Structure 1
Amino acid sequence: MPVQAVRRGISVVRNGVGAFVLPCKKLTFRYCNWGGSSVGMRKYLHENLQKLSAANPGIEMEVEVKKGHPIITGDYMNGRQKVICVRNMKPHEIEQKVKILRDASGQKLRRMKHPVYSTNQSPRGIWSPFHVLEQYRYKV
Structure 2
Amino acid sequence: MIQYWDAFQVRAFMESELPTFKEKNPQLEVVTELIRGQHPHLKGFYKNKNERVVCVKNMTPEDILLYATRLRNALGRKVVKLKTRHVTKHPSVQGTWTTDVKF
When normalised by structure 2's length, the TM-score is 0.73
Q: Which one-letter code corresponds to 2:20 in the other structure?
A: K
Letter in 1 for 2:42: I
Q: Give the gaps of 5 or more residues in structure 2.
A: 92-103
State how far apart, in whole Å, the 1-side matches of 2:4 and 2:46 are: 29
Q: Tell me the distance in 2 between the aligned counterparts of 1:111 and 1:66.
A: 33
1:110 match: secondary structure: coil
Question: Which residue number in structure 1 is paired with residue 81 of structure 2?
Answer: 111
Structure 2 CA distance for aligned equivalents of residues 116 and 75 of structure 1: 33
When you count strand as a share of all residues, which structure comes out higher?
1
Aligned residues: 86
Q: CA deviation at 1:73?
A: 0.3
Alignment partner of 1:49 is 2:18: yes
Residue type of the alignment partner of 1:103? N
- Post-superposition shift, 1:110? 1.2
Amino acid paired to 1:100 = R
Report the structure, 1 or 2, having the larger helix content. Answer: 2
2:26 and 2:15 mapped to 1: Cα distance?
Answer: 18
Q: How big is the alpha-carbon RMSD for the aligned residues of Structure 1 and Structure 2?
A: 1.9
Listed as ranges, the gaps of 5+ residues in structure 1 are: 1-33, 120-140
Alpha-carbon distance between aligned partners in 1 of 2:33 and 2:79, rounded to the nearest angstrom = 28
Aligned residue identity for 2:6: S
How far has the Cα of 1:112 moved from its partner? 3.0
Task: Report matched runs for 1:22-61 at 5 Å.
Answer: 35-61=4-30
**Among candidates 35, 38, 55, match of residue 85 of structure 1:** 55
1:65 corresponds in structure 2 to: 34
Aligned-pair identity (%): 28
